Amino acid sequence: MQTLYDKLWKSHVVQEGSDDTALLYIDRHLVHEVTSPQAFEGLRIAGRRPWRLDSLLAVADHNVPTTERANGISDPLSRLQVDTLDQNCEELGITEFKMNDLRQGIVHVIGPEQGATLPGMTVVCGDSHTSTHGAFACLAFGIGTSEVEHVLATQCLSIKKAKEMQILVDGTLGHGVSAKDIALAIIGKIGTAGAAGYAIEFSGGTVHALSMEGRMTLCNMAIEAGARAGMIAVDDITIEYISGRPFAPKGDLWEKAIAYWRTLRSDEGVKYNQVVKLDAAIIKPQVTWGTSPEMVTTVDGRVPDPLQIADSVKRKDMERALKYMGLAPNTLISEIYLDKIFIGSCTNSRIEDLRAAAEVIKDRHIATNIKLAMVVPGSGLVKLQAEKEGLDKVFRDAGFEWREPGCSMCLAMNDDYLSPEERCASTSNRNFEGRQGPAGRTHLVSPAMAAAAAVAGHFVDVRKIH
């Protein structure tokens, strides 16, 4: 009997090694501007060429401005990095969606959107949130720059097999509770290192009731639980999502592909190294209060009190986090007031995320204490779709800024960032110190919760206002 992970692993082994390692063949290599320049340079110095051009898809996302782009990128350092990607792709003949291409967007949004992410693939990218693609029953994981160069040169990676963790979520999610809340609830339960050394398979009725967008959110956050890869078995929803996308197979190949894809599920009764169970019915909207995604509680909760923590390392970390976040112990989450709202990132910038946020703010307006509320769609095509549905108007009427696609304030490499001590409700994935700007304070939430906070000016239970 085999798990989904076993099946994906075995179907890509080129050569077995020692210590549970193997040389694995890589089907899809996604490339962006930040982690690739040194890899291309290494390739050039060694006189090597990319092994397989049709496995590559490149896009600039981290550095791109989300405001008017007609005049290019004003920051010379960002511009150089994006230009370097353009040059490398042109020189080597790599398919790239350039900054002003309608298909440009966050690498983890455009892969699935184009059908460039297909079930059964091994997918890598020099970005930890590559786990996102596991939603399509892919073995997808983030790699460093040395490995980017390795895959460019050899189409393979030497990888150690991970242990397997099943996260089983059953029950019906409450209205206003989303995949993001499931992800944060899991991280709250097992911790940010809880799945280190594991590949996670998310399963159960709740997971398979999620849309592909929701599944991508869940797999995206697997890395925040410490797992390099997260994955979900193929079902009808997977196949329906892929059908007709530009890179997806057509005609006879489509039929052949579907027949294979339907085998991409764990065998009934197979054993995992660890099983974690969650009841979806009791998951409430989640809000992080600290500087690690595991520092999370429910919207009706309070900021914890370090005095209640026995472990001295944990207590010190908590004290440091609360000082950084400017929060007093025992503060009600609903009494935390915000300065900025960010709806975007590879976690929550897809059409369904924008619909969920728009539903909350429709015919409402952001609170007067909110200095900036922004929506950054995950791709040009997501933006276009949202505009067709009139969501841009809903956001603009409510006082939000409607921006161009990119990573934006998730990691603040472009001009979108928090000023020191500004507090943000963010739909992104990391609340680390300085992540959204030096001394900036990030609270991770779902799109619906971010929208609700924008309207109220402070955190509020979206289930109550909606």
Partner 1 sequence: MEKFCNFEGLVVPLDRANVDTDAIIPKQFLKSINRSGFGQNLFDEWRYLDHGELGMDVAKRKPNPDFVLNQARYRGAKILLTRTNFGCGSSREHAPWALQDYGFFAIIAPSFADIFLNNSFKVGLLSIVLSESIVDRMFCEVNETEGYCLAVNLEDQMVTTPSGKSYRFDIDSLRKSNLLDGLDEIGLTLQHVEKIKAFEEKHRVEQPWLFK
User: How many distinct helices (H) and strands (E) make up the chain?
Assistant: 16, 19
| φ/ψ (deg, to 5) at 368 | -65, -25
| φ/ψ (deg, to 5) at 425 | -90, 120
Q: Which of 409, 319, 342, 397 is nearest to 364 (CA)?
A: 397
In the bound state with partner 1, the residue whose beta carbon lies nearer, of 257 and 338, is 257
- Please answer whether residues 342 and 424 qualify as being in contact, where contact means their C-beta atoms are separated by less than 8 angstroms: yes
Residue type (1 letter), 158: S
In the bound state with partner 1, the residue whose beta carbon lies nearer, of 260 and 337, is 260
In the bound state with partner 1, the residue whose beta carbon lies nearer, of 127 and 339, is 127
CB of 229 to partner 1, least distance (A): 9
Sheet with 163-170: list strands edge to edge: 229-231, 198-203, 163-170, 274-279
In the bound state with partner 1, the residue whose beta carbon lies nearer, of 126 and 406, is 126
CB of 415 to partner 1, least distance (A): 12
In the bound state with partner 1, the residue whose beta carbon lies nearer, of 132 and 206, is 132
CB of 246 to partner 1, least distance (A): 12
CB of 250 to partner 1, least distance (A): 9
**Do the bridges between strand 340-343 and strand 296-298 make them parallel or antiparallel, or are there none, so unpaired?**
unpaired
State how far the Cα of 452 lies from the Cα of 461, in Å rounded to an integer.
8
Burial class (CB in 10 A: 0-12, 13-18, 19+), 65: buried
Tell me the CA distances in angstroms from 263 to 24, 120, 169, 259, one per residue in order. Answer: 20, 9, 21, 7
Beta-carbon-side half-sphere exposure of residue 396 (alpha carbons within 13 Å): 8
In the bound state with partner 1, the residue whose beta carbon lies nearer, of 340 and 435, is 435
State how far the Cα of 127 lies from the Cα of 105, in Å rounded to an integer.
15
| φ/ψ (deg, to 5) at 437 | 140, 150
In the bound state with partner 1, the residue whose beta carbon lies nearer, of 85 and 360, is 85
State how far the Cα of 51 lies from the Cα of 27, in Å rounded to an integer.
11
In the bound state with partner 1, the residue whose beta carbon lies nearer, of 284 and 315, is 315
In the bound state with partner 1, the residue whose beta carbon lies nearer, of 382 and 412, is 412
In the bound state with partner 1, the residue whose beta carbon lies nearer, of 192 and 331, is 192
CB of 127 to partner 1, least distance (A): 6
Give the Cα-Cα-Cα angle 448, 119, 172 (nearest 5 degrees): 35
Taking the C-alpha atoms of 424, 65, 113 and 2 in order, what is their torsion angle to the nearest 10 degrees?
Answer: -60
Q: Which of 297, 300, 369, 305 is nearest to 340 (CA)?
A: 369
CB of 243 to partner 1, least distance (A): 13
Report helix, strand or coil for 337: strand
Tell me the CA distances in angstroms from 371 to 69, 124, 316, 341, 462, one per residue in order. Answer: 23, 38, 32, 9, 21
CB of 428 to partner 1, least distance (A): 12
CB of 213 to partner 1, least distance (A): 23
CB of 4 to partner 1, least distance (A): 16
CB of 432 to partner 1, least distance (A): 4
Q: Token match 């500004």: residue?
A: 422
CB atoms within 10 A of CB 372: 18
CB of 387 to partner 1, least distance (A): 30
In the bound state with partner 1, the residue whose beta carbon lies nearer, of 409 and 462, is 409
